[in-house]
């Protein structure tokens, strides 16, 4: 829907709306999450969660099931240059920026070429995705860039994509229909 490609200096803003998908069958059951143990145990029952908080647990299977009707899955894909630690991104509610759905600070990505992060978002809201570069030079080189993919009610839509020529950063405004 929105494609990057030029040098944008201090950044670019893109606004778009995702069409309401038509689906005859929708799984309306809420997502399930593991329950904590009732008290201390002799040995741990699960590893500590070191991931960034999300509204719902992320899905890691490449063939995504239909999301619950009240949430959509946003996939954030980034292909880095030689300095991934210079990249940070943030996903907030457009109407209430204090409502942060995911924030990845500078220095979080080290010695990686590509990442795919997944965040469940409540439907019926507008969001702002901000991708920033600490040195304000974007992602340098061939094959670098970003892509945002939304999976809502079993329909996959590319929200935005661009190469790394975004200077200090890029902002993408989007809505997720009910």
Q: Where are the alpha helices (DSSP H) in 4-156?
A: none
Query: How far is residue 131's CA from residue 129's CA, in Å, rounded to a whole number?
Result: 7
0.85 surpassed by pTM? no
Is residue 142 over pLDDT 90? no
Looking at residue 107, what is its pLDDT?
96
Query: How far is residue 75's CA from residue 82's CA, in Å, rounded to a whole number?
Result: 22
117 pLDDT tier (thresholds 50, 70, 90): very high
Give percent of the chain with pLDDT exceeding 70.
61
Query: How far is residue 137's CA from residue 142's CA, in Å, rounded to a whole number?
Result: 14
CB 164 within 8 A of CB 7: no
What number of residues does the chain have? Answer: 178
Q: Which residues contact residue 36 at a Cβ distance below 8 angstroms, ignoring those fewer than 6 apart? A: none
| Backbone φ and ψ of 26, nearest 5° | -130, 135
Residue 22: CA atoms inside 13 Å, Cβ hemisphere, count? 0
List strands edge to edge, sheet with 2-3.
2-3, 155-163, 145-152, 71-79, 114-122
Q: Give me the residues paired with residue 130 across strands.
A: 90, 171
Looking at residue 60, what is its pLDDT?
35
Residue pLDDT, tens place only, 145-159 = 999 999 998 999 999
Reading the block at residue 93, the tokens are: 């509610």
Residue pLDDT, tens place only, 47-56 = 444 443 333 3
Mean pLDDT for the chain? 75
Looking at per-residue pLDDT, the higher value among 4 and 150 belongs to: 150
């Amino acid at each position: 829907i929105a494609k990057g490609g030029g040098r944008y200096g201090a950044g670019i803003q893109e606004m778009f709306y995702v069409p309401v998908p038509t689906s005859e069958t929708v799984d309306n059951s809420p997502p399930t999450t593991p329950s904590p143990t009732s008290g201390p145990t002799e040995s741990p029952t699960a590893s500590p969660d070191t991931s960034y908080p999300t509204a719902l647990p992320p899905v890691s299977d490449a063939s995504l099931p239909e999301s619950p009707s009240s949430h959509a899955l946003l996939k954030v894909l980034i292909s880095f240059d030689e300095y991934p630690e210079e990249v940070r991104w943030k996903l907030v509610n457009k109407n209430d920026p204090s409502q942060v759905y995911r924030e990845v600070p500078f220095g979080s990505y080290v010695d990686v070429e590509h990442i795919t992060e997944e965040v469940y978002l409540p439907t019926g809201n507008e969001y702002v995705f901000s991708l920033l570069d600490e040195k304000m030079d974007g992602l340098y080189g061939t094959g670098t860039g970003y892509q945002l993919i939304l999976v809502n009610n079993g329909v996959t839509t590319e929200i935005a994509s661009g190469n790394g020529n975004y200077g200090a950063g890029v902002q993408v405004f989007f809505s997720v229909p009910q």
